[in-house]
């Protein structure tokens, strides 16, 4: 009890001494400032970008960066710069007699940063969309043949198409991209050149890999579409004397097309997302663009969030369209 | 007109038809009755090669259709088939269902085919439904359109595979009436049916099938009035 009382008194004394000392110091500082005013203490505040408002010790200062402040007394100051759409920055500056320089590099606010990189991302998105559209289109052409080849009564065609579909659905798309971009050049070289690998340009590799991959998935969609048509339809057509191909063309395929449209829409959405994998071979689509941006700005959080949003902007409308198509086709079926 | 000799059909290990031999004469109406699983439908489907016979021979007007050299499509064009579940083409109107065969197979012009189709729709009493899609027709109407579709090929014989089994009771009569008219016109008909009334009234001959063979055949008066075989008796006692 006694000891505690003693220690409390000690602390109080210490604090009071501190306050006294501080007051004495600042009094002295003001004095020196008054002494050297207008002589040689200069504080130059610059910022990138320029035009930021300046606050010294929390008080707004008249003028914007780049700003030269004269007549400050040496000492420690809290310098703050603020500019609309940029993050506020503050720093303690030890102002010494003579010329003092402070440089601020302002970071954009997240929103403004996103706004600034949006054009680049959208450019990437256009490439992604372009790649996807061409690939799925090729995929539909390949897949229609492959899908029909799986159902026609020709054993050899069934086997070939089955092998194609199983291979490209059963291996990762990334591996397929590597096989084409890195695996094919030596083969091409020994077949058509002097043995040195013939490099493929990333666009060509990307497009081939995506098209062939998409073709395998579309083939399954087409096969399922054809097989979903009741057997009785083929029997009724054949019993009228139609050939297999006539029945396919006039009876089965027109009905299958309707059922195939919604899953094809889903394939398009899947391909839109999977096409991001071609970034690994340097194809400048949305994801690759983002990687490049991040290495320049060091702002992965907003950049990748932005990429996600751009993908969402593309997939959501298509999802809506597919849902609507499914609804309409169901009612007319 | 149709001659079947020792017809066998196996589905893998399942022996469905175990040697069918019979003959169907021009203008004859033959009803095939029997318990389910007895092979009636399979037999009928063999007649236009929707099922490929495993063994045996089928002759239509002297042509051996089980021969591999025979053009199956030509054979089928001569045999009209009516299915239990109608199997109309849902993406086509009633009229289009009836014209597609003649246009695609017989190479008739669209106008000729439509003229023929309207006449057939009149015959089955559905001219006003010419431009309806199958989904908008009742079961009975769909089956009548299906009969018209089969007739559009001017077949030499008509095969009916349980044509009324999928119909509501009140619609059965309209389909049977169409079939009776056909019979009266002298169409050769083979009908797999559970409609004993129709078999008794319209058919010239009844085949009773059980377990892949024809157990008993004869005029309806004999089969229904005085069946000889025990299996026939027991079947009829259950269904009549």
Cβ contact, residue pair B83, A236, below 8 Å: yes
The pLDDT of residue A213 is: 97
Cβ contact, residue pair B105, A250, below 8 Å: no
The residue behind tokens 């010294």 is A56
Distance CA(B20)–CA(B209), nearest Å, equals 10
Angstrom distances, CA of residue B162 to CA of A60, A80, A267, B44, B51: 96, 92, 42, 10, 16
Distance CA(A286)–CA(A275), nearest Å, equals 9
By percentage, how much of chain B surpasses pLDDT 90?
92
B contacts of A239 (beta carbons < 8 Å): 48, 50, 76, 79-81, 150
Cβ contact, residue pair A240, B101, below 8 Å: yes
Q: Which of residues 95-124 of A touch B (CB under 8 A)?
A: none
Cβ contact, residue pair A236, B77, below 8 Å: no
When pLDDT is cut at 50, 70 and 90, the band that residue B131 belongs to is very high
Q: Is the peptide bond before A49 cis (omega within 30 degrees of 0)?
A: yes
**More reliable by pLDDT, B152 or A1:** B152
The pLDDT of residue A32 is: 43
Distance CA(B78)–CA(B65), nearest Å, equals 12
Phi/psi for B218 (5° steps) reads 165, 180
Cα distance from N-terminal residue to C-terminal residue, chain B: 31
Phi/psi for B2 (5° steps) reads -115, 130
The pLDDT of residue A12 is: 56
Please report which helix (H) or strand (E) contains residue A170, including its range: helix A155-170
Distance CA(A288)–CA(A281), nearest Å, equals 9
Distance CA(B82)–CA(B124), nearest Å, equals 14
A contacts of B105 (beta carbons < 8 Å): 240-242, 246
The pLDDT of residue A2 is: 47
Instruction: Tell me the nearest-neighbour CA distance from A255 into chain B, angstroms.
Output: 7
The pLDDT of residue A4 is: 52
Cβ contact, residue pair B81, A251, below 8 Å: no
pLDDT means over runs of 10, chain A (333 residues): 54 56 48 49 92 92 90 91 94 91 93 95 96 97 96 96 97 97 94 90 96 97 96 96 95 93 94 96 94 95 96 95 85 57
Question: Considering chain B, what is the average pLDDT of its residues?
Answer: 94
Instruction: Tell me the nearest-neighbour CA distance from A250 into chain B, angstroms.
Output: 9
Angstrom distances, CA of residue A80 to CA of A89, A90, A249, A299, B238: 6, 4, 75, 23, 101
Distance CA(B234)–CA(A22), nearest Å, equals 120
Count the neighbouring beta carbons within 10 Å of the beta carbon of residue A254. 15
The pLDDT of residue A193 is: 84
**Residue of A236, A254, A329 to mutate when probing chain B, most B C-beta within 10 A:** A236
Q: Is A12 on the interface with B (CB under 8 A)?
A: no
Distance CA(A129)–CA(A124), nearest Å, equals 9
Q: Degrees (nearest 5) of the Cα angle A236, A238, A241?
A: 115
Q: Is A238 on the interface with B (CB under 8 A)?
A: yes
pLDDT at residue B50 above 70? yes
User: Average of pLDDT values for B85-90?
Assistant: 96
The pLDDT of residue A38 is: 47
Of residues B57, B51, B77, the one with CA closest to residue B3: B57
DSSP, collapsed to helix, strand or coil, labels residue A190 as helix
User: Average of pLDDT values for B109-119?
Assistant: 96
Instruction: Tell me the nearest-neighbour CA distance from B80 into chain A, angstroms.
Output: 7
| Size of the A and B interface in Cβ pairs below 8 Å | 62
Of residues B10, B2, B14, the one with CA closest to residue B189: B2
């Amino acid at each position: 009890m006694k000891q505690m009382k003693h220690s409390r008194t000690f602390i109080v004394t210490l604090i009071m001494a501190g306050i006294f000392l501080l007051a004495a110091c600042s009094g002295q500082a003001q004095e020196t400032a008054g002494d050297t005013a207008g002589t040689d203490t200069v504080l130059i505040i610059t910022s990138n970008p320029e035009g930021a408002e300046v606050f010294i010790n929390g008080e707004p200062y008249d003028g914007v960066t780049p700003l030269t402040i004269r007549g400050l007394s040496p000492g420690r100051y809290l310098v703050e710069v603020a500019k609309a759409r940029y993050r506020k920055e503050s720093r303690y500056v030890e102002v010494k007699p003579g010329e003092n320089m402070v440089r601020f590099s302002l970071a954009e606010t997240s929103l403004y940063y996103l706004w600034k990189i949006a054009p680049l991302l959208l450019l990437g998105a256009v490439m992604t969309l372009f790649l996807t559209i061409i690939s799925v289109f090729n995929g539909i052409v390949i897949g229609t043949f492959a899908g029909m080849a799986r159902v026609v009564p020709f054993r050899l065609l069934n086997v070939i198409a089955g092998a194609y579909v199983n291979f490209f659905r059963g291996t990762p798309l990334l591996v397929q991209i590597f096989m084409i971009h890195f695996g094919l050049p030596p083969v091409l070289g020994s077949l058509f050149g002097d043995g040195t690998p013939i490099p493929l340009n990333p666009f060509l590799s990307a497009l081939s890999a995506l098209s062939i991959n998409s073709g395998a998935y579309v083939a399954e969609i087409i096969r399922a579409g054809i097989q979903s048509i009741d057997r009785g339809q083929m029997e009724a057509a054949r019993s009228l004397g139609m050939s297999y191909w006539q029945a396919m063309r006039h009876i089965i395929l027109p009905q299958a097309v309707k059922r195939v449209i919604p899953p094809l829409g889903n394939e398009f959405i899947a391909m839109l997302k999977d096409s991001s994998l071609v970034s690994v071979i340097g194809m400048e689509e949305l994801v690759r663009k983002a990687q490049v941006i991040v290495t320049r700005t060091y702002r992965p959080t907003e950049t990748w969030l932005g990429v996600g949003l751009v993908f969402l902007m593309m997939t959501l409308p298509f999802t809506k369209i597919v849902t609507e198509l499914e609804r309409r086709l169901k009612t007319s079926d | 007109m149709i001659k079947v000799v020792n017809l066998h059909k196996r589905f893998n290990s399942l022996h469905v038809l175990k040697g069918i031999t019979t003959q169907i004469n021009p203008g004859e109406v033959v009803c095939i009755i029997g318990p389910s699983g007895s092979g009636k439908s399979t037999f009928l489907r063999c007649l236009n090669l929707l099922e490929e016979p495993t063994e045996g021979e089928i002759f239509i007007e002297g042509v051996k259709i089980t021969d591999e050299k025979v053009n199956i499509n030509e054979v089928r064009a001569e045999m009209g088939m009516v299915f239990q579940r109608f199997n109309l083409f849902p993406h086509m109107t009633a009229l289009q269902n009836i014209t597609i065969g003649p246009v695609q197979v017989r190479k008739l012009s669209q106008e000729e085919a439509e003229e023929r189709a309207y006449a057939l729709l009149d015959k089955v009493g559905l001219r006003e439904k010419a431009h309806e899609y199958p989904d908008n027709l009742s079961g009975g109407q769909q089956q009548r359109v299906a009969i018209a579709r089969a007739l559009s090929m001017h077949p030499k014989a008509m095969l009916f595979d349980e044509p009324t089994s999928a119909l509501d009771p009140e619609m059965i009569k309209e389909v049977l009436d169409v079939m009776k008219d056909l019979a009266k016109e002298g169409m050769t008909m083979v009908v797999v049916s559970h409609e004993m009334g129709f078999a008794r009234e319209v058919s010239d001959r009844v085949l009773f099938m059980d377990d892949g063979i024809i157990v008993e055949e004869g005029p309806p008066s004999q089969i229904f009035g005085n069946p000889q075989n025990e299996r026939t008796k027991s079947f009829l006692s259950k269904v009549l």
